[in-house]
Amino acid sequence: MEEKAAVMSNPGAKSDRFRVTSMNDSEYGEIDLIKLLGALRNSILLIILLGLLFANIFALGTRFLITPTYTSKAKMLVLSKETTISSLADLQLGSQLTKDYTILIQSRPVLSEVITNLGLKFDYEVLLSKLTVSNPSDSRILELAVTDSDPYVAKRIVDEIATVSSNYIGEKMEVTTPNIIEEGEIPYKRTSPSMSRNVMLGLLLGVLLGCAIAIVEELLNDAIVTEEDVEQYLGLYTLAVLPDKEQNKKRGRKKIRKSEKKKAEN
């Protein structure tokens, strides 16, 4: 398709406009990546300040607004009555039993008994949300993890769940009760929230916001400042440039101040 170019001239207007239009293109502007990079460079101070501001906001929010949680873990070994070290079939059976045991540990009778024994003030659904049962690397080991805002409560709950579920599984399935090979410990390091992760997230969000502000300001700025802008947007060539009197005055004042400082030092 052919492109049509037209020069619009109006004696009463402040300036002439040069525009190239295309029958397939309804947009008349283009984005100059070099100018955008220059706008980001000129706004680097704003970007840094916003990054630091959001990082501090997220740090304060993590410190004072979010309740920290702690996780205590216990481990159980799954056995069957005929399990021997040399029996591969028994080992495979033990691995299959871990799936059944996982369901039984999270069952209502087990967790309800734990709530009664410890005198907890929340119900089965809440306790279930605090409990995680996993089988690491398809082994015969079951790992119980309880997360709570109180590290001491987390340890008490995970130990009681391990004890109650071990007895319950032995009674209901008529198998050798799972052995508790590792009791829970009092966790001194919180599980969440992560201070470093939230600070980095706030820093990234502030930097992105600063970049977005700089880019939007550059895209919305249609002022003609340089000789290149005149040639690009108006299609005209610059014949002369008038100096800015205010800028010259400021430069002159700076020179006078510098000379006065040198004289005072001498």
Assess contact for 234 and 224: CB atoms under 8 A.
yes
* Mean per-residue pLDDT over the chain, rounded: 79
Asked if the model's pLDDT at residue 213 lies above 80, the reply is: yes
Q: CATH 3.30.70.1130 region(s) of the chain?
A: 70-182
Q: 86-125 pLDDT, tens per residue?
A: 454 555 555 677 888 899 999 999 999 999 999 999 999 9
Q: Assign domain 70-182 to its CATH superfamily.
A: EIF_2_alpha (3.30.70.1130)
Q: 168-202 pLDDT, tens per residue?
A: 988 888 777 888 999 999 999 999 999 999 999 99
Name the pLDDT band for 15 (thresholds 50, 70, 90): very low
Look at residue 21 in the predicted model and tell me its pLDDT: 38
Asked if the model's pLDDT at residue 232 lies above 90, the reply is: no
3-state DSSP call for residue 123? coil
Name the pLDDT band for 135 (thresholds 50, 70, 90): confident
